[in-house]
Amino acid sequence: MCQKWVDHRPEVDPLTGAVTTDPRTSAASAADHAALEWGLRMVEGWGGELLVATAGPAAAEVVLREALAAGAHHAVRIDLEATATSEEVAAGLAERLAGADVVLCGDWSLDRGSGSVPAFLAAQLAAASGLGCTVLALDPDRPGEVRAERRLDGGRRERLVLESPAVVSVEGGGTRLRRASLAGVLQAREAAVEVASAPPLTPSRPPLRIGPYRPRPRSRPAPSAELTARERILVLTGTPADRPPPQLLVLEPAAAADRILDQLRTWGYLL
Amino acid sequence: MPETFQDFDAVVVGAGPAGSTAALVLARAGRRVALLERGPYPGSKNMYGGVVYGRVLDGLLPAWWDEVPAQRWVTRRSTMVLTPTQALSVDFRTQAWGSPPYNGCTTLRPDFDRWLAGKAEEAGAVLITSTTATGLLRQGTRTVGVRTDRPQGDLRAPVVVACDGVNSFLAKEAGLYHHPEPEHFTLGVKEVLGLPRHEVEKRFALQGDEGMDIEILGGTGPVPGGGFLYTNLDSIAVGVVLHLPALAASRRRPEDLIADLKAHPAIAPLVAGGDLKEFSAHLIPEGGYEAMPGVVADGLLVAGDAAGLCLAAGLWLEGVNFAIASGQAAAEAAIEALRSGDSSAAGLAGYRRRLEASFVLQDHKKLRRAPGLVLSERVQHQYPKALCDVVEALFTVDNPAPKRGALRAARAVGKNDGVRLRDLARDLYTMARTFG
Amino acid sequence: MSDPERIPDIDFEDRMASVEFRVAATAHITVDGDACRGCTTKACVTACPARLFVPTSDGGILFNYEQCFECGTCYLVCNRAGAITWAYPEGGHGVAFRRS
């Protein structure tokens, strides 16, 4: 079962976009807590042992100790920078989690997470994947089989049956982590946490530039004073009356994608 | 209930300055001590005016100033008396407070409390966060531990040190609070406003890590209390302290009273453009010596705010230093009791003796009349007005009329502002006895 | 110096948004509605720094617990003994100051 140490209340400088995080407000997310709770219920129902893993710096071990206090059996930290990509995180975790019957994760992390680590993990482990589940049903007589429910558009639900090995990610709402006992907390303080290094990884694609959204400045001549206020605003905000009319294109998917990229380049959204 | 095993020699409830100091001293004496904190980290529930006077740490943590998470070292102290349109300041600066061993520093409690709890942990105390003590474990009238809100959460120990803050539910449960009346409390509300570091230094005439501390009298409108303004590194803390029953009766909102203070012509330029970083509120035990609860019971000691040890006496606004000293005294008494195997109230009586012998109770005794005096209508409204009017009359140049001289000005103002000589004489006498 | 017409320099919502509250699943405040209906002062309504208490049209009190500073003002100013009962929220929850 995987946990991520993440700041719940990061501060973002509105001018530079610089993000400041604070270890005091950093912890596992509600989704990770829900995943931990399901993990604990699995080992209660099916037997076996619960290994809790995180990828991050040494400070991230607080999430492991929290999980140990709640009842996890072992803990491992994959030593990675907090800025590691989902791919690196998944590769690091996969090496240590290979052979697990079920891998549980929160659906996505709070720091603009995309929920891709569980997907990468499933790919790395060649496991079945059920991502973004709301509720799980565990049959004590069928260890390793997870029945999961997840949301679809339009208020519909989808039921999945996942056979081991499987990667399951769960939503945060609805499942609350049990409160750790006092003895659990005291033992978790002393418990050993294994530290593993992540395998070197060549990224499959170059990293994107990450930064604040910066619309480019455009210089515009002052609008004619003879226009009405509304017209002057239209001119200034770049809503010209003579914009090219919308076009409807019917293309093959590949050609459509190229066309979209071309258009985005024309508009200046892509370099 | 059978006699069960004892997990710890002592359980300290609350990892504030009192609790962490108590745990530090107990752990250094080789005692197994649990330090319970209900917040996710020490300091997360705590708020104060803004200055820690660290002299009390000298004996415990030599050269503490090298590592304390200080924002600024206070070298400039100002006491300000306000009326709606006037302000009179007594402004003092000394460079002696800006270098070791220093006098006081502004610091944020989530930083300071975490630092001090860290010291206790280094000494061997077991810090247990996110755990609320919900009550005392008792055998008859004797405290034998605490209940917590965790499953199987009972913690047993021969001594419990309750440093659980101004609301101390543990001291109340033990029957040590006879009258927790609202008149013995004030409500502190404050805003931390972000300002660039150079702006803080420019506005308050500071350099480097120098800091300023302003205490304000008469800036709280109809509610008796006081105001304060402290400088942090790149923020300032501005707030008001409000007498609880008067606040309730006035129907005024606490944040409106801060807004009034911030809008005062003497304060507005100091806080202008500050960006709200955090708003906070906390009660202050301001009853002084007369309202102090009992601090010792069988198996139980009470320290810090929980024991009402907070000095809010006009000229002096201190609390963290009293908390630290009382935590230390409680730990020393507990060590003594553990050594002799008697942790009954009699065995723990050394705590009260230590407090009596130290500045903790001596200051409180000396300033026992201060709360009533400082919160009185005359000190809150009449005298600030009269004082400002005298100074205004003194410095207003109204030629061709000749100068009146200070005494004549004072006499005229006294008559105008309704200051009765008899009251003034009595208050001056009380002030002399209290602060002299 | 107080001008009731003055627009507050900080909106109350923004003020409260500057503070972190880790909301517990259960309330740590309980209010006895019957006691409140007979109360004429309702001091908690104005004194609570977090504005957690709201009078209802039938004379009762509606309360929130989520954004509580855990200061204790409400039960101390309450003139009906026992109308407001108050305990600390579950460990790890409630207000979490960072700059106070």
pLDDT digits (tens, 9 = 90+) for A111-141: 878 899 999 999 999 999 999 999 999 999 9
Does CATH place domain C12-96 in 3.40.50.9100?
no
Q: B151-170 burial, b if ≥16 CB within 10 A, otherwise e?
A: eebebbbbbbbbbbbbbbbb
Return d(Cα A186, Cα A177) in angstroms, integer.
18
Inspect the interface and report whether the beta carbons of A176 and C96 lie closer than 8 Å. no
pLDDT at residue C3 in the model: 56
Q: Mean pLDDT, to the nearest integer, of B397-421?
A: 84
The structure's pTM equals 0.89
Cα–Cα distance for residue pair B238/C17, rounded to 1 Å: 18
Handedness of CA A159, A164, A166, A172 (dihedral sign): positive
**pLDDT score of C1 more than 60:** no
Q: How far is A47 from chain C (nearest CA, A)?
A: 29
Supply the pLDDT for residue C95. Answer: 97
User: What are the Cα distances from residue C43, in Å, to A169, B226, B239, C28?
Assistant: 48, 21, 21, 19
Grade residue B115 by pLDDT with cuts at 50, 70 and 90.
very high
Q: Which of A217, B227, B282 has its CA nearest to residue C95?
A: B282
| pLDDT on residue B409 | 82
Q: For the beta carbon of residue B416, count every other beta carbon within 10 angstroms.
A: 12
**For residue B4, is pLDDT > 70?**
no
Q: Is the pLDDT at B1 greater than 80, yes or no?
A: no
Evaluate whether B175 touches B137 at the Cβ level (below 8 Å): no
In 3D space, the residue among B327, B388, B398, B399 whose CA is nearest the CA of residue B358 turns out to be B327
DSSP state, residue A107: S
Say what the pLDDT of residue C4 is.
55
Amino acid identity, position B374: V
Helix (H/G/I), strand (E/B), else coil: A133: strand
For B185-245, what is the HEC assignment? EEEEEEEEEECCHHHHHHHCCCCCCEEEEEEEECCCCCCCEEEEEEECCCEEEEEEEEEHH
Lowest mean pLDDT among A66-70, A101-105, B255-259, B400-404: B400-404
* DSSP β-bridge partners for residue B59: none
The CA distances from residue B122 to A190, B12, B268, in Å, are: 14, 16, 44
The answer to which of B49-58, B367-376, C53-62 has the lowest mean pLDDT is B367-376
The set of chains that have 3 or more CB pairs under 8 A with B is A, C
CB B258 within 8 A of CB B191: yes
pLDDT tens track for B9-19: 999 999 999 99
A vs C: CB pairs below 8 A: 10
Buried (b) or exposed (e) across A19-54, using 16+ Cβ within 10 A?
eebeebbbbbbbbbbbbbbbbbebbeebeeebbbbb
Q: Specify the pLDDT at position A155.
A: 86
pLDDT digits (tens, 9 = 90+) for B159-181: 999 999 999 999 999 999 876 78
Q: Say yes or no to pLDDT of B420 above 90.
A: no
pLDDT at B359 over 60: yes
> How many angstroms separate the CA of residue C65 from the nearest CA in chain A?
19
Task: List helix spans (H) across B88-183.
Answer: 109-122, 169-173
Kindly list the partner chains of chain A, i.e. chains with 3 or more CB atom pairs below 8 Å: B, C
Residue B304 has pLDDT above 70, yes or no: yes
Position B5 pLDDT exceeds 80: no
SS3 label, residue B296:
strand
A24·C25 Cβ contact <8 A: no
Q: Inter-chain contact A182–B150, Cβ cutoff 8 Å?
A: yes
pLDDT of residue B6: 56
Of C69, C62, C67, C70, nearest in space to C86 by CA? C70
CA atoms of C76 and C44, how far apart (whole Å) = 9
* All domains in chain B, ordered by first residue: 10-70+107-178+293-368 (3.50.50.60), 182-285 (3.30.9.90), 376-435 (no CATH)
Contacts of A213 (CB under 8 A, 6+ apart): none
**CA B131, chain centre distance (Å):** 24
CATH class of A2-197: alpha beta
User: Which of A210-219, B258-267, B274-283, B389-398 has the weakest average pLDDT?
Assistant: A210-219
Contact B299/B159 with Cβ under 8 angstroms?
A: yes
Tell me what the mean pLDDT of segment A171-176 comes to: 90
Taking a C-beta distance cutoff of 8 angstroms, is the pair B186, B242 a contact? yes
Question: Under 8 Å CB-to-CB from A187, ≥6 apart: which residues?
Answer: A68, A69
Q: Beta strand pairing status for A74-79 and A194-197?
A: parallel
Report the distance separating Cα C98 and Cα C100, nearest Å: 6
Q: Rounded to an integer, what is the distance from CA A201 to the centroid of its chain? A: 20
For residues C86 and C77, what is the distance between their CA atoms, to the nearest angstrom? 13
Task: In whole angstroms, give the CA distance from residue B321 to residue C35.
Answer: 41
| Band of residue A216 on the pLDDT scale cut at 50, 70, 90 | confident
> What average pLDDT does this structure show over A222-250?
83
Q: Where does chain A show beta strands of DSSP type E?
A: 2-3, 6-7, 11-12, 19-20, 26-27, 51-56, 74-79, 102-106, 128-138, 146-151, 157-162, 166-170, 194-197
**Chain B residue whose CA is closest to C76:** B182
What's the pLDDT at A247?
85
Distance CA B126, CA B133 (A): 15
More reliable by pLDDT, A104 or B382: A104
Is the Cβ of B228 closer than 8 Å to some Cβ of chain C?
A: no
Mean residue pLDDT of chain C comes to 90
Question: Is the pLDDT at B3 greater than 60, yes or no?
Answer: no
- Considering only the beta carbons, identify the residue of B40, B110, B151 that sits closest to A181: B151
Does residue B2 surpass a pLDDT of 50? Answer: no
Burial B374-386 (b: 16+ CB within 10 A, else e): bbbebbbbbbbbb
Domain boundaries, chain A: 2-197, 215-271
Residues 147-186 of A with CB under 8 A from C: 176, 179
Average pLDDT over residues A240-263: 87
pLDDT tens column, B209-245: 999 999 999 899 999 999 999 999 999 999 999 999 9
Q: How far apart are CA A51 and CA A35, in angstroms?
A: 12
Burial of B233 (C-beta count, 10 Å sphere; 0-12/13-18/19+): middle
Strands annotated E in B22-154: 33-36, 51-53, 72-83, 86-93, 104-106, 126-128, 133-139, 142-148
pLDDT band at A27 (very low <50, low <70, confident <90, very high): very high
Per-residue pLDDT for B314 more than 70?
no
Query: Is C18's CB within 8 Å of B279's CB?
Result: yes
Averaged pLDDT for residues B352-358: 97
Positive or negative, the CA dihedral A178, A52, B7, C86 is negative
To the nearest whole angstrom, how far is the Cα of A212 from the nearest Cα of chain C? 22
Q: Tell me phi and psi for residue A215, to 5 degrees.
A: -65, 140
User: What does pLDDT average to over chain B?
Assistant: 93
Distance from the Cα of B225 to chain C's closest Cα (Å) equals 14
> Is A63 an 8 Å CB contact of chain B?
no
In angstroms, the Cα distances linking B137 to B148, B162, B174 are 10, 13, 10
For all residues of chain A together, what is the average pLDDT? 90
| Length in residues, chain C | 100
- Residue A209: predicted pLDDT: 65
Q: Which two tokens stand for residue B218?
A: 């008469």
Contact A110, A28 (CB under 8 A): no
- Across the interface, of C8, C89, C97, the residue whose CB is closest to B278 is C97
